[in-house]
Structures are given as structure tokens and as C-alpha cells.
Structure 1
Amino acid sequence: MQNLQDEDYDYLYKIVLVGEAGVGKTHLLSRYIKGTLPKNPTSTIGVEFATRTVPLLSGGTVRAQIWDTAGQERYKSITSAHYRRAVGALLVYDVTNERSFVNLKKWLADLKENAEPNIVIMLVGNKIDLGSNDPTAKKVPSDLAQKFAKDHGMLFEETSAVTTTRVREAFENLLQEIYIVKSRSNKGARQNESQGNVLIPKFEKRSGCCN
């Protein structure tokens, strides 16, 4: 999938990057949007924002509004507010940091409480390059993470923002899954409408800012 002109899109999806400080959320976003890593990386304060327009494998294009949220506890009230109307999330942990994995449950709970009820979430284990260089550095086994993702109905990827491994796939597989979920939801809504219920369309083309 490649970039299109920003004005050419059919769907607008709000995506959030969520997880502990230091797991590499900003690096993942920079690598996906700019193709490079941040020159002077610092911890995100509050939220940062970027957009990318992506063609879907099933046809049509989606403009992704991607919000990079701070992982520090003191910014929780700010970041939680930005989960509102998010239809997708990358829930990120560091494969070399077991604590970042253990704490995923609290981030997942925040997402469920503040984002859209049918939010699509992808669990992302970042920094796999460190485990490739030194197998003992990897503290979160892939099968354990896969089970956690399956138990909570999430997609799963392992990535490296440094080597670009599976970064594009993580974002764009999430966008594709959101489209599939929304298509099923809209189909069900049309069926309800045919039975006399009122259909309220959501996620229309050019629906404006979604934060």
C-alpha cells in the first residue's frame, strides 16, 4: 500500500497508539508516516498527531488520523480523553520489558472505557530487533503475547521501528480490519432499517475531525 493525495479518501478512521512510556510508540508512528526515526526522540507529552491516506485491499481509501499518546501516568486524563471516537488502536509493549506487557491490562481497560464500543485493537510487540541480536533480551515470548491477544479478541504483530520489520503491516492490517468490521456493522444496520428501524450512518466520507 502506498500514499495517496490527502484529499482522496473514502473513509476517515481515528487510530490511537497506546502503551507504557518507552515502548516505541513515537518511533513506530514516525517510521510509518515519515519512513525515518525521530532525530531527537523524547517522551511524548500529552498527545501528538499525524495523518496518512491508505488504499484498502478491498477497494476504496481510508484517511487514518493517528494519535500518539503519552505513556506516563501523569498524562492519563489527557490521553484518555483522546481515545474518544477512536475506532482502532495499536496497543504497544516492548518485547524486552516484561513490565510493559504486564501493564497492558490497564491500558486495555482504558481503551474499552473511553473509545468506541466496537474498537478494533492490534497488540504490537515492538523492539524485536533487540531480541534478534541477543535472544536472552526478549522477555515476552511470542506465544504468550499471541494468547493474550486471542483471549482479548485482538490482532497481533511483532515489529521493529529500527529495522522497519512489520511496521507498515501493523498499521495497515489494522485499518483493513476496521473496514471489515464497519462493513459488517453497516450491513447489519441496513437490515435493521429494512425491518423498520432507523439507520444512523457513521464514518461517512469527509466526516470532519474525529477527536
Structure 2
Amino acid sequence: MAQPKKKPIFIKKGGSQRSRPAIKRWNIKTLLIGDGGVGKTSLVERFVSASFDVDYKITIGVNVMNKMVVLSETENVNLVINDVAGQPRFESMRSTFYLGAQAVLAVFDLTRKQSLDNLVYVWLPELMSSNPPKPNFPQMQILLIANKSDLEDLRSISDEEILEAIEEMKKKFPQSIFMGPLETSAKDNIAVDEAFVDIARQYVMRLKEKMSK
């Protein structure tokens, strides 16, 4: 009579091992908008590569860079960062870069009042007309960035003027969620990581709320 085959015995070494939790990865298309020279590219380079270039470089069309943000042990966010050209001569091509944007850093220069006004009356209207709300996604997150805080002696915008601009944005674009203002300095690395991480965290929170309904 044939003997039944014995099943092999596997011995685990080193004691019990806990399985690692699955990691959820979110992809968020993030825009930086604002006038030329406000420091959008410097903010991106400081965040992505921890560098700062004192020489001004004009962005042609759009620069796209990626950075992974770790929210927790089980959640990562891949920020697809679109640094949009600020010069008026690129206005005709900008609308194509706005499509699908989920989070926006609206950047102005604390030493140039016109750069704040242009966010209200040029950049945000342009963005909203090219990227209408989507029913299955959260409202667009817009974080107002007051850049070049290191140039305190040259500051030409008061806190009251910034708050007035935010109220005007909220009235003109009630379909979006405005955050900030957050003062940053790409040169001195002040609140740069905070800006990108905060908008990623807030968007994921609202996305999960939307999905749970």
C-alpha cells in the first residue's frame, strides 16, 4: 500500500513577522500661477531639489516636476507640479496647462502690489474659465502664497490689502476653497515645504470626504 506523501514543513526563522500595511498613493495635479518674477520656479526648486538659484530664469510654457509627499505610514501623495509661465506672451497657451488641476498655489510678490491684484483679476478668472468644477472631485483648493518675505524692507502690501484681496477672491469664485495667506521665502527656505505639504494634505482630506458620501 502506497504511503501518503508527507507535506513539507516550513520553519519561519527570526520569530513572527508582521505584514506591512498597504500604502495608498494619491496623484494630485498641482499648479503654481502668478506673474513672472514672483518666485514660482524658485519655490518649486526649493521644494523638489532643496536648491535656490539667485539668477532669474524665465519659464517657457510650463515646467513639470514631481515630488512624493508622505502623509502617513499608509498614505503617500505624488504631487505633479506644473509651474506655469507668468509672462503675458505665454497667455495664449496657458489654458491647456490648467485642465485637470486639483490644487493651486497662487503666488504673489510681497514687494509688488500689482502681482496680488493680477491674481484676483487676471490669473484666477483665466484659471476658472479653463478648468470648470468637476462633479466627482472636491472643490479646487487654492492656497494664497505671499512670497519673498525675506525682503521685509521692500514690502509694499499691507495685511489689510491681502485680506481684502482674499475676500474678493471668495466672492468672485465661490466654487473654490481658498486657504492662506502663507508667507514664504524660497531664498531663506521659509514655509516652502509647509505650503506644498499642507495643500496636499487638505486636498486628500476633502477627496476622502467626497468618496465617503
Q: So what's the TM-score if we normalise by structure 2?
A: 0.77
The structure with higher relative contact order (CA 8 Å, sep 6+) is: 1
Q: Which amino acid aligns with 2:159?
A: S
Change (3 A) 1:146 1:56: farther
SS of residue matched to 1:125: strand
The answer (yes or no) to whether the contact 1:21–1:71 under 8 Å persists in 2 is yes
Deviations 1:89-137 (A, max 9, x none): 1000000001101111121112222235221110101001001xx1xx1
2:75, 2:202 → 1: CA distance?
14
Read off the aligned partner of 2:208 and give its amino acid letter.
S
Tell me the secondary structure at the aligned position of residue 150 of structure 2.
helix
2:171 paired with 1:155? no
Larger CA Rg, structure 1 vs 2 = 2
Match in the other structure for 1:119: 140
Q: 1:22 aligns with which of 37, 42, 60?
A: 37
Aligned residue number for residue 125 of structure 2: 109
User: What is the root-mean-square deviation in Å for CA atoms of aligned residues?
Assistant: 1.8
Matching residue of 1:199: none
What is the rounded CA distance, in whole Å, between the counterparts of 1:42 and 1:71 in structure 2? 11
Shift of 1:85: 0.4
Provide the C-alpha distance between the structure 1 equivalents of 2:192 and 2:155, rounded to a whole number of angstroms: 18
Identity of aligned residues (%): 30
Counterpart position of 1:178:
203
**Could you tell me how far apart the structure 2 residues matched to 1:176 and 1:54 are?**
9
Matched residue type, 1:126: N
Q: TM-score, normalised by structure 1?
A: 0.78
Number of the residue aligned with 2:155:
138
Q: Quick check: 2:30–2:80 contact (8 Å CA) kept in 1?
A: yes
Flag structure 2 segments of 5+ consecutive residues without an equivalent: 1-22, 134-138, 171-176
Shift in Å at residue 147 of structure 1?
A: 4.3
- Asked if residue 93 in structure 1 is aligned to residue 108 in structure 2, the reply is yes
Number of equivalences: 177
Q: Secondary structure at the match of 2:190?
A: coil
Q: Which runs of 5+ in 1 are unaligned?
A: 1-7, 189-211
3-state DSSP class of the match of 1:128? Answer: coil
